Structure 1
Amino acid sequence: MRNMIIAIASAAVLSTAAYAQTATTSTAVKEVYVTAKPTDVLTSNLIDLNVTNSANEKIGEIKDVVMANGQVAGYILSVGGFLGIGEHYVVVSPAAVKVNYNETDKKWSALMETTKDALKAAPQFKYEGRWSR
């Protein structure tokens, strides 16, 4: 009988310790969900999108999106080149590129007030180091 009481007491102490340990080490995990608004743009709609100027000249193509602290910090444009040879990459401010969706045509467009020559003369971005593909 004495052994049974010791066994029951031991089990009670051990289960209380296990419960206390679980209760003190668990933390509540908060998950945050957002809803995409009709005015939002997916990056998949931007990649390979031609950029034109007001003269309707193709001046580049969006190749990548630069993110900083969860916000779009720039667009990497490909300027010049042919079939991937001789491409010159530059990073431009997202404020400099007006991205638009035409409901009638169901097409995306990007407009930037500059020339291809001005983009070619801009500081070059290189896919290397931490930005290697």
Structure 2
Amino acid sequence: MPTKSGHTTAIRATRVIGTNVYNEANDKIGEIEDVMLDKTSDSIMFAVIGFGGFLGMGEKYHAVPWKLLNYDESTGGYVVPFTKEQLTQAPAHTISELSENDGRRVRDNAFSYYKVDRAA
């Protein structure tokens, strides 16, 4: 299914990683550090958004359901429907925690925090 702005449905992961993420007020809140895939269901589990660090130290990683990211051509980045403060209060993880228990705990926490129905 195309994004809300009508962009294509396919993109290489290498083009997504490193892309800036903005809130709806057009404030940069981080960037996509990685994309977690569920290799048994052929689906994206979540995007990993990193923010808050300096030169790779102290950075926090947040799992955000992919369906909440919308590509915005004018910024060349993704827009999410929440503030930096909401992201700051979201569950944060280390890189290694993101894939523990096959990523299920992190995925479930993210969908719960952002109030996203996994079936939708």
TM-score, length-scaled by structure 2: 0.66
Matched residue count:
91
**Contact preservation (8 Å) 2:37, 2:43:** yes
Secondary structure, aligned partner of 2:91: coil
Q: Calculate the aligned-residue CA RMSD, in Å.
A: 2.4
The structure with the greater share of residues assigned to helix is 1
**Which blocks of at least 5 consecutive residues in structure 2 are unaligned?**
1-6, 101-120
The answer on 1:90 being equivalent to 2:58 is no
Within a 5 Å distance, the mapping from 1:25-40 to structure 2 comes to 39=8, 40=10
**Contact preservation (8 Å) 2:21, 2:28:** yes
**Which blocks of at least 5 consecutive residues in structure 1 are unaligned?**
1-37
Alignment correspondent of 1:16? none
Q: How far off is 1:130 after superposition?
A: 8.3
**Contact preservation (8 Å) 1:79, 1:116:** no
Secondary structure, aligned partner of 1:72: strand
Matched to 2:17, the amino acid is I
Within a 5 Å distance, the mapping from 1:1-133 to structure 2 comes to 39=8, 40-68=10-38, 69-100=41-72, 102=73, 108-128=76-96, 131=99
Secondary structure, aligned partner of 2:15: helix
1:10-51 deviation per Cα after TM superposition (whole angstroms, max 9, x unaligned): xxxxxxxxxxxxxxxxxxxxxxxxxxxx82111111101110
Q: What percent identity do the matched residue pairs reach?
A: 31
Alignment correspondent of 1:29? none
